[in-house]
């Protein structure tokens, strides 16, 4: 049985949705644990002219080893709470979460 993550939902075969709580203007970009059912991500980008959203998509695609087109912002364009659709199996993203968060749920 795979671990369940409150921030990760399967959206269909080969697709999933990741709920994020984003903090822009950080010193570095990194996943920083879970917060209120979301993956907290600190971004080293300002929330101006979509730069934080672009940085988030690029970072997440790079972290997951996916092309940038495989990660899309679904909700939260101007909000700290975001939903991102990932064109990858939920198991792949769940494994990445476990590695990033040291298996702590």
For residues 104 and 75, which has the higher predicted lDDT (pLDDT)?
75
- Coil, strand or helix: which one is 94? helix
A 10 A CB-CB count for 92 gives 15
Q: What is the DSSP letter of 105?
A: -
| Reported confidence tier of residue 1, pLDDT bands at 50, 70, 90 | very low
Task: State the pLDDT at residue 85.
Answer: 97
Report the CATH fold assignment for 8-99. Answer: Conserved Hypothetical Protein Mth637; Chain: A; (3.30.1200)
Task: Kindly report, residue by residue over 39-96, the tens digit of the pLDDT.
Answer: 999 999 999 999 999 999 999 999 999 999 999 999 999 999 999 999 999 999 999 9
- Concatenating the DSSP letter of every residue in 56-84 gives HHHHHHHHHT--GGGEEEEE-TTSSEEEE
Domain boundaries, the chain: 8-99
Task: State the pLDDT at residue 13.
Answer: 86
């Amino acid at each position: 049985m795979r671990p369940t993550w409150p921030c990760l939902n399967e959206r269909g075969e080969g697709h999933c949705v990741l709920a994020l709580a984003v903090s822009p203007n950080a010193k570095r970009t990194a996943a920083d644990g879970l917060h209120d059912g979301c993956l907290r991500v600190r971004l080293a980008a300002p929330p101006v002219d979509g730069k934080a959203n672009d940085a988030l998509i690029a970072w997440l695609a790079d972290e997951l080893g996916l092309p940038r087109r495989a990660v899309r912002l679904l909700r939260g364009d101007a909000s700290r709470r975001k939903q991102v659709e990932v064109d990858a199996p939920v198991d792949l993203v769940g494994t990445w979460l476990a590695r990033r968060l040291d298996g702590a749920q």
